[in-house]
Amino acid sequence: MFDRAGFGIAIIDLDGRFVDANPAYVGLTGYSLDELREMNYLALTHPDDRDLNRSGLAALLRGEIESFDLEKRYITSDGRTVWIRGKVTRIGGDDEPVHVVGTFEDNTAAKAAEREVVRLSNEVERTTDQLRLTFESMSDAVYVVDHAWRFTYLNSHAERLLRRGADDLRGKEIWSEFPDAIDTPLHATYHRAVEAGTSQELDEFHFAPLESWFRVAAFPSDQGLTVYFDDITDEREARLAISRQAALLDEATDAIIVRRRDHIITYWNRSAERLYGWPASEAVGCDIRTLLHDNVARFDEANAELLARGSWTGEFVLRSRTGDRIIVAARWTLIRDHDTDHDVVLAVNTDVTDQRRTELQLVRAQRLESIGTLAGGVAHDLNNTLAPILLASEMLHEEEDDADRGELISMILNSARRGADLVSQLLSFARGVDGDREPVDVAELLHAVYSIVRETFPKDIVVRTEVQAGLESVTGDRTQLQQVLLNLAVNARDAMPDGGTITLSASTVELDGQYLVAADGASPGRYVLIEVEDDGHGMAADVLDRVFEPFFTTKQPGSGTGLGLSMSAGIVQSHGGFLRAYSEIGSGSRFRVYLPSASHPAAPSDPSPSVAAPLRGTGETVLVVDDEDAIRSTTRRTLEHAGYLVVEAANGAAAVAAFARFQEQIDVVLIDMMMPVMDGPSAIHALRSLDPHARIVAASGLHGNGKTTRAANAGVRHFLPKPYTSAGLLQAIAEALAD
């Protein structure tokens, strides 16, 4: 029976060694019986589940319990993780040796199904909430009735228009609650939608009990009927008033035009003259389609809807006499003359060109702000990911004697550092963070940009560099300056769709006051001039005048935001320099970047820079506070390796509790600014209340997000940017201890 059992059975001695196991257990683990007898039972158990085994087994062997149920993960012989469920029982005693017998079965599929059920449940709940929020955010009133015509949902706008609450109407029949709607066009429209299974609309419906006119659209579904409606009473009254008075409103601010059904203009007010440029004497008698409309097909669509409904509202892009494009909000009304059958169309057009341009810029700005927020969150997570890689790589590199392995570790370390630089760049441009200012070797900077451009640009674009010997350095942020040159290089590439040559050059120049007349804030003196030149199609004078304006772009929609050059100009200006552009149609473009010289040649970079000996502790205790387990672990190892003692806390609340307990032993606190439960600034205030003189080092991967400012206001003087290296970590701790 032991061998034939369909579930796994294993017998273990008091030392945790396998005594016997049936074939089902062998098949579950993937190890042979001989291999199992050489193993301890914990070797099969997932590391995170071993404490569960130890505690249950200890209680079993002490005789406190006879058996216990468990659910845990096994690591099979081929490295797979499987969930098992089983029961463990103590056998033997008196004159017999004591053993532990476990019966087990594979529970992986059940766990997967359980997780899927939870996921689907959460997805349904999220979808329901999203639909509810969508309906509530709509400008239209919305209600839903089931197949028995009972209300199942009303949004707040529907409650206001119907003057009834959702709790009052839910579950009640619409026709019993609003009997005056029976045998009306509304009643017929709803039934037609249900019977035909297609959406139906009612442009105007007057409901006497509410003394209002409504526009209604009904959409059938499996759940019943969804109704969108809006109160158009004011709109209708205004439209009727306009239809009666339009011929007399020659002084109206809107352009008012009357045309026959064959589109010939019969009336053209003075505002129409001002807006479109044609005097009434020239416009009257013309076909409005050929006079104003480039998109005749859209005009015909709108006109067909006008004839079917009696009115139409929408927007057009129209042509003025000078060729300018004007965006108008148009309101058309068909005025019927039943006596002569000479119907006319009254059009009231409002110029919304500036309004739409402003809205477009606002949308772009909001989109960029959202991208910046997203980039900041991504950068925070990347910083937390890179921090333990940097620290662990440095520790491994320091202790590795094997040259080949050391080379691999160096590669990992260098890649992590490049990743940290990229995160810093992401923060600088997504969140507007000021960059670091340090000497920058312009020749080396140009070479780096040249390498990127040569590897990424099409092969039909030739890239050349020309760098003056003994070129002086500049003071600035290397990443930001590299971004400026890459922006200019990308624009040059886009100006040469059929290939060409891009020249990157740098030289030192002396500028006097006369040359700097047009350069805002620039002072006479020595400058490093960096030029990016192409032989592309060039720019016209009117485009060149606006090339540094935010949101101005000549690229197709979706190909650029128009911020690249304006952002580049801002970066150069923040470095005390200025940016100028020169171009002619057919003669290419040349952008000149002027940066104040540091007045001395750039120091040649040392190919093998010496690394300062790391600072070491003498038994001081550091409280490390971070919600990322990997960061705490690698930070603790680095500090302990350097001679410090370490106490860990996973969040601000735990840090306050640990500090209160070990206050006399803790010499310095290293705390992350962004954590759950209690964030860094709040925890710092709590620590300061326990000890106003506590030495604190604040660590953060997001600069300029407000939290570091709050920490500084709380008296924190030492900050450690994430991801930090072991040298940076030890330096910050040493400075705090010396404070």
Measured CA to CA, the distance from residue 346 to residue 353 in angstroms comes to 21
* Same domain assignment for residues 207 and 177: yes
Query: Which region among 122-126, 299-303, 307-311, 502-506 has the lowest average model confidence (pLDDT)?
Result: 122-126
HEC profile of 163-176? CCCHHHHCCCEHHH
Q: How many residues does the chain have?
A: 739
Last residue of a domain, one of 570, 601, 632: 601
**Residue 685 scores a pLDDT above 70:** yes
> Strand locations in 189-254, DSSP E?
200-207, 212-221, 224-231
Q: Is residue 393 included in any domain, yes or no?
A: no
Q: What is the pLDDT of residues 323-337, one digit of tens each?
A: 888 999 999 999 887
**Residue 172 scores a pLDDT above 90:** yes
Buried b (16+ CB within 10 A) or exposed e, 508-547: beebeeeebeeeeebeeeebbbbbbbbbbbbbeeeebeeb
Residue 62, pLDDT score: 76
Rounded (to 5) percent helix, strand, coil in the chain: 45, 30, 30
Q: What is the pLDDT of residues 381-425, one digit of tens each?
A: 676 777 778 777 777 777 777 777 777 777 787 777 777 666 665
* Same domain assignment for residues 453 and 595: yes
CA 469, 475, 477 angle in degrees (round to 5)?
115
Rg of the chain over Cα atoms, rounded to whole angstroms, equals: 38
* Same domain assignment for residues 240 and 212: no
**Residue 126 scores a pLDDT above 80:** no
Measured CA to CA, the distance from residue 588 to residue 466 in angstroms comes to 18
* Same domain assignment for residues 220 and 309: no
> Strand locations in 552-689, DSSP E?
578-583, 589-601, 621-625, 645-649, 666-672
pLDDT band at residue 610 using 50, 70 and 90 as cut-offs: very low
Q: What is the pLDDT of residues 234-268, one digit of tens each?
A: 888 877 775 566 556 566 788 888 998 889 998 88
User: Are 325 and 317 spatial neighbours (Cβ–Cβ below 8 Å)?
Assistant: yes
Residue 604, pLDDT score: 42
Q: Is residue 613 included in any domain, yes or no?
A: no
Structural domain count, the chain: 5
Q: Is residue 615 included in any domain, yes or no?
A: no
CA 663, 665, 670 angle in degrees (round to 5)?
75
Sequence-distant (6+) residues with CB within 8 A of 606 are none
Residue 425, pLDDT score: 54
User: Are 356 and 327 spatial neighbours (Cβ–Cβ below 8 Å)?
Assistant: yes
**Residue 494 scores a pLDDT above 70:** yes
* Same domain assignment for residues 589 and 462: yes
Dihedrals φ, ψ of 319, to 5°? Answer: -105, 130
* Same domain assignment for residues 459 and 585: yes
Query: Which region among 600-614, 637-651, 706-720 has the lowest average model confidence (pLDDT)?
Result: 600-614
Q: What is the pLDDT of residues 545-579, one digit of tens each?
A: 666 665 556 665 544 544 567 677 777 877 888 88
- 8-state DSSP, 264: B
- 8-state DSSP, 615: P
Assign 400 to helix, strand or coil.
coil
Any bridge partners for residue 311, and if so which? Answer: 333
Residue 132, pLDDT score: 57
Six-digit token pair at 584?
A: 């002619």
* Same domain assignment for residues 576 and 472: yes
Measured CA to CA, the distance from residue 538 to residue 210 in angstroms comes to 65
Q: List the CATH number of the domain containing 80.
A: 3.30.450.20
* Same domain assignment for residues 510 and 632: no
pLDDT band at residue 613 using 50, 70 and 90 as cut-offs: very low
pLDDT band at residue 705 using 50, 70 and 90 as cut-offs: low
Assign 536 to helix, strand or coil.
coil
Q: The whole model's pTM is what?
A: 0.34
User: Are 697 and 719 spatial neighbours (Cβ–Cβ below 8 Å)?
Assistant: yes
* Same domain assignment for residues 296 and 155: no
Six-digit token pair at 432?
A: 């507007």
Give 657 or 115, the one with higher predicted confidence. 657
Residue 429, pLDDT score: 47
* Same domain assignment for residues 227 and 241: no
Residue labelled with tokens 């505002």: 271
- 8-state DSSP, 247: G
Measured CA to CA, the distance from residue 594 to residue 597 in angstroms comes to 9
CA dihedral 421, 425, 428, 430 (to 10 degrees): -140
Residue 621, CA distances (Å) to 386, 634, 668, 669 in order = 25, 16, 7, 9
pLDDT band at residue 168 using 50, 70 and 90 as cut-offs: very high
Distance of CA 344 to the CA centre of its chain: 52
Residue 605, pLDDT score: 40
Residue 225, pLDDT score: 92
User: Are 178 and 209 spatial neighbours (Cβ–Cβ below 8 Å)?
Assistant: yes
Residue labelled with tokens 């129409």: 272
Q: What range does the domain containing 547 cover? A: 442-601
Distance of CA 262 to the CA centre of its chain: 52
Query: Which region among 174-178, 213-217, 532-536, 582-586 has the lowest average model confidence (pLDDT)?
Result: 582-586
- Helix (H) and strand (E) counts for the chain? 24, 27
Q: Is residue 150 included in any domain, yes or no?
A: yes
Q: List the CATH number of the domain containing 457.
A: 3.30.565.10
Q: Is residue 212 included in any domain, yes or no?
A: yes
Q: List the CATH number of the domain containing 672.
A: 3.40.50.2300
Share of the chain above pLDDT 90, in %: 22
For every residue of 376-410, DSSP letters joined together read HHHHHHHHHHHHHHHHHHHHHHHH---HHHHHHHH
User: Are 194 and 219 spatial neighbours (Cβ–Cβ below 8 Å)?
Assistant: no
**Residue 269 scores a pLDDT above 50:** yes
Q: Is residue 196 included in any domain, yes or no?
A: yes
CA 23, 24, 25 angle in degrees (round to 5)?
90
Q: Is residue 361 included in any domain, yes or no?
A: no
* Same domain assignment for residues 17 and 154: no
Q: Give the number of other Cβ atoms within 10 Å of residue 451's Cβ.
A: 11
Q: Is residue 365 included in any domain, yes or no?
A: no
Q: Give the mean pLDDT of the chain.
A: 80
Last residue of a domain, one of 299, 327, 351: 351
Last residue of a domain, one of 601, 630, 654: 601
Residue 138, pLDDT score: 60
Measured CA to CA, the distance from residue 571 to residue 579 in angstroms comes to 10
Q: What is the pLDDT of residues 427-475, one digit of tens each?
A: 554 444 455 678 889 999 998 889 888 888 888 889 899 988 888 889 8
Query: Which region among 46-50, 118-122, 528-532 has the lowest average model confidence (pLDDT)?
Result: 118-122
* Same domain assignment for residues 708 and 721: yes
How deeply is 262 buried, as exposed, middle or buried, from its count of CB atoms within 10 A (0-12, 13-18, 19+)?
Answer: exposed
User: Are 242 and 348 spatial neighbours (Cβ–Cβ below 8 Å)?
Assistant: yes
